[in-house]
Amino acid sequence: MKPFWKIFLGIFCYVAAVAGIGLAVLNASQKPAATTYAVLFGAMGVVFLVAAVAVTRKPRY
């Protein structure tokens, strides 16, 4: 994968992770709590965070 696309995908995944975790916190703090959406957004945020770390880490030789 070319470096441009790695950087683009990494930034996209980090932004999506922050948005997903932020939406999870907002949904969990509502009265009454929207637990289903909070878990869904939180899980997607974690998935994007793991993907971002996997894309941006340096290869080990």
CA atoms within 13 A on the CB side of 53: 6
CA atoms within 13 A on the CB side of 39: 2
What is the structure's pLDDT at 2? 87
The rounded distance, in Å, linking the Cα atoms of 22 and 30 is: 13
Question: Which tens digits make up the pLDDT trace of 1-57?
Answer: 788 999 999 999 999 999 999 999 999 898 887 888 899 999 999 999 999 999 998
Please check whether residue 48 is in contact with residue 24, taking contact to mean a CB–CB distance below 8 angstroms: no
- Among 41, 38, 61, 60, which residue's Cα sits nearest to residue 49? 41
What is the structure's pLDDT at 58? 80
What is the structure's pLDDT at 31? 83
